[in-house]
Homo-oligomer: A and B are copies of this chain.
Amino acid sequence: MSERALLDQLIDALRCLPGVGPKSAQRIAFHLLERDREGGARLARVMAEAMTRIGHCDRCRTLTERERCAICADPHRDAGLLCVVEQPSEVVAIEQATDFGGRYFVLGGRLSPLDGIGPAELGLDRLEALLAEGVVRELVLAISPTVEGGATAQFVAELATVQGVAVTRIAQGVPLGGDLDALDGGTLALALAGRRAF
């Protein structure tokens, strides 16, 4: 009897979802319990598995439960075209909105020396090794044009140039400081198609 009611625990745990306050946590809990227990049970199962099993692709650092993600493992992708993004969500956004047929490299952030985020934290040693394989001929920068994003893009571009890899970046039209995955697909597709020499 001293343990908290399971319903209260559920309402509480739901607050880890972004944008979910006490009121909507309650609404969600009652919805699942009264109208969709099967969906809730399935979500619980998949979520438990995802939280423990999903890691990062060995090659491009995007999220995957395999050693190598589906895109890196796909022999039909153009291995000569490499798009560098900050976050895994941006890979999904580009895949859904464009017909980009190359591969990706996910930095996982931006250079930020004050926060202890240097080249190693962004996997730039791995990117360098990848470029040194000599297969990539064009590196497409898809990094937000903020101050830190700009420094990061500059760093990546130099890395590629040293290896003799052409560097382009997706066209302006991306709003300043805007998150790529919050953009509408059309804008994103145009920006990618209009990429220029960096």
Contacts and interface: CB of A to CB of B under 8 A. Distances in A.
Interface string A98-131: 0000000000000000000000000000000000
Contact of A49 (B6, B34, B54, B69): B6
Interface in A12-61: 12-14, 16-18, 26-34, 36-37, 39-54
A17 to B, nearest CB: 6
A197 interface: no
Interface residues of A, number: 50
B65 A6 contact: yes
A70 B9 CA distance: 14
Contacts of A39: 13, 16
Interface of A: 1, 5-7, 9-10, 12-14, 16-18, 26-34, 36-37, 39-54, 63-65, 69-70, 73, 87-89, 92, 181
11 contacts: A13-B39, A17-B17, A26-B89, A32-B51, A33-B50, A33-B88, A34-B88, A40-B51, A44-B44, A44-B45, A44-B51
